Chains A and B, each alone.
Chain A
Amino acid sequence: MVDKTILTVSNVCKQYDQRLVLSGVSFSASAGESVVIAGANGSGKSTLLRIVCGLTTLSSGEVTWQTQEGALSPTQMLRRLGYVSPELGLYDRLSAFEHLETFARLRCLQLGPDVLSETLRRFGLGESMHRAVGEFSSGMKQRVKLALATIHSPDVLVLDEPSSNLDEDGRQLVRELIHEVARHGLVLLATNEVQEVAEYGQTVLRLD
């Protein structure tokens, strides 16, 4: 699937009640590319990412993922990608380690405690991996989300404001992840930060 993944978004519209959030959005992207979706607050960046991931239905238009296994709908693609968003919650009473362990098993990955601990250390959570996530700062929670999104080494990484709440170390981590995945896969990134648009925006899609 790796080097053949192509995303095609054709004339996508999304309407909530009477409010049109997205109107006729079209673009395509393929593996090895990073696409930045930029735009003002409320311009529909997060909605577009959710539609592309199959987490929100579209009002009209079409989204297809072309993989080596054929054309997949966003819903079929859902479990193959990594997704980070401010709208994603965590289980307050579980630790970061328990999160990673549970979601690795849900994905049927056989990762031992050493690998999980090492992953959490890479994400700067080595000291606090056994503390309940409910006690974490928002930056630490963002690191857990990033770890969860990349535990299965996805070929497609969908990031909605990935640097929000992160310190400089965390931002560097995001940079590394994006460059790592964009070498062989596809990165879709929604951001308002000018620096991120300039740094990652091989292709920039503006929603205004």
Chain B
Amino acid sequence: MDKLSCVWISLVALLRKDFVEELRAKYAMGSLLMFALVTLTVVSFAVGAFHPDAAIHAALLWITVFFTGMSGLGRGFVKEEEARTAVLLRLAATPDTVFAGKLLFNAAVMIAVTTLIYAMYIVLMGISGSLLLLYAVMLLGTLGMACGTTLLAAVVAQAGNQAMLLPVMALPVLMPLLMVAVNASRIALEGGAPGEMLGLLAFLASFPVVIVAVSLLLFEYVWHN
């Protein structure tokens, strides 16, 4: 069997394991969904009646997405270290496969949660504008967040499972992404067209590529040390 097929088989096996575990235990989805639900409910009670402008909505949306992500994205590696199953993975899978598997799982979970946040925000806050464009911005931003957080989650898991470290470490890495995502979301909420934010969309699309390339270079060291 060629190397590419092997990588594919390993990756599917790892993803399948993570999804089966998630379906049975609801580690990540449960905490993420509850966090998103509570935050959005509080936000809608607090500012819903004041008809905030697009900039405030964009900021509130990304605060919700960022902290929801931080409350669950680190779990993938932390639970492997806590359950002492990380050694099993080190013994059987290549570091690249482990990184890719955890990244795809994080991305899938975050995209599902972001879709829910997007839908709930529209319902609860009654926002208007270019909503499809807003969704595209949120998906790209979320993908960037998942990519930027996966390597950091592995570092945090090695550092004595201190999950609270994740937001602290992630903020500087994700700051450029968040600034661009908030700006692009504001334009979309003001009813802007994609042509008005081509540069921002290009940044959002290239951020995950750069972060994944850097992470792949560093992950093996983090994973084995």
Contact = CB atoms under 8 A, between A and B. Distances in A.
- The number of chain B residues touching the other chain, given as a range, is 20 to 34
Interface string A73-112: 0010011010101011111111000100111011110100
A90 B90 contact: no
B92 A103 contact: yes
A102 B24 contact: no
A14 to B, nearest CB: 14
Contacts of A55: 87, 90
Contacts of A83: 87, 91
Contacts of A57: 225
- Please report whether the interface of chain B is mostly helix, strand, loop or mixed according to DSSP: helix
Contacts of B225: 57
The 9 tightest CB contacts between A and B, nearest first, are A89-B84, A105-B13, A108-B6, A106-B92, A93-B24, A89-B83, A106-B93, A89-B85, A102-B17
15 contacts: A53-B91, A57-B225, A75-B224, A81-B91, A85-B87, A89-B83, A91-B17, A91-B21, A93-B21, A93-B24, A94-B21, A102-B17, A106-B92, A106-B93, A108-B10
A108 B9 contact: yes
Contact of A88 (B16, B87, B94): B87
Contacts of A157: none
B224 to A, nearest CB: 5
A54 interface: yes
B97 A92 contact: no
A98 B24 CA distance: 13
A189 interface: no
Contacts, number: 72
Nearest to B3: A108
A198 to B, nearest CB: 29
Contact of B92 (A89, A91, A107): A107
Nearest to A103: B92
Nearest to A154: B91
B9 to A, nearest CB: 5
A54 B24 CA distance: 32
Contact of B16 (A85, A92, A102): A102
A42 to B, nearest CB: 19
- Please report whether the interface of chain A is mostly helix, strand, loop or mixed according to DSSP: loop
Contacts of A78: 90-91
B26 to A, nearest CB: 10
A55 B16 CA distance: 25
A93 B10 CA distance: 20
Contact of B84 (A87, A93, A105): A87
B20 interface: yes
Contacts of B12: 105
Given A103-B92, A106-B10, 10 more contacts: A57-B225, A79-B93, A89-B83, A89-B84, A94-B20, A94-B21, A105-B10, A107-B92, A108-B6, A110-B1
Given A90-B85, A105-B13, A79 B91 contact: yes
A37 interface: no
A148 interface: yes
Contacts of B20: 93-94, 98
A89 B10 contact: no
B74 to A, nearest CB: 18
A90 B83 CA distance: 7
A107 B83 CA distance: 21
